[in-house]
Amino acid sequence: MDYQITLKQQPSQPILSIRKTTSVSKLHEEIGKAYGMIAMYLQEMGEQPAGAPFTAYYNMDMENLDVEMGFPVSKPIEGRGDIKAGSIPEGRYVEGMYKGPYSVISSAYDAISAWMSENGLTPVGISYEYYLNTPGEVPDSELLTKIVFPVK
């Protein structure tokens, strides 16, 4: 499968997010809760997300996943409670597009990892998934996920 992998320079991106540790079995539920809380907060503030929702993965421990779930925003917005203001740092990022069910997304990660290795790029330990549509909108076979790795 062709994953359309590219290397890009990105500016800093303000975000609102919730970070927590969860098991992979509860991830879908935690992502839904986090996005709902942030979307409601943005609505209260009279703001809109500036792009697709994302989940940042700080590790791959399936029983204790350290994840950050949120939305890019157009300007820094103060957080509240579990919702934190932050940013995705400026830097070089490898991006790959994946189309299909989340359950077999690992093939895209393998392809992106191989591409980074072939091009002498080293990931810095975090990966991001941007969800360009949702299971409620399209069949699983049509789900679009942008996978992004900051690299050095």
Q: Is the pLDDT of residue 151 over 90?
A: yes
Q: Is the pLDDT of residue 149 over 70?
A: yes
Q: Is the pLDDT of residue 49 over 70?
A: yes
Q: What is the pLDDT of residue 130?
A: 98
Which amino acid would we find at residue 78? E
- pLDDT, tens digit, 9 for 90 and up, residues 108-132: 999 999 999 999 999 998 999 999 9
Q: What is the pLDDT of residue 107?
A: 94
Q: What domains are there in the chain, each with its CATH number?
A: 6-151 (3.20.80.10)
DSSP character for 35?
Answer: H
| H/E segment holding residue 71 | strand 65-72
Q: What is the mean pLDDT of the chain?
A: 96
Residue 1: pLDDT band with limits 50, 70, 90: low
- pLDDT, tens digit, 9 for 90 and up, residues 65-108: 999 999 999 999 999 999 999 999 999 999 999 999 999 999 99
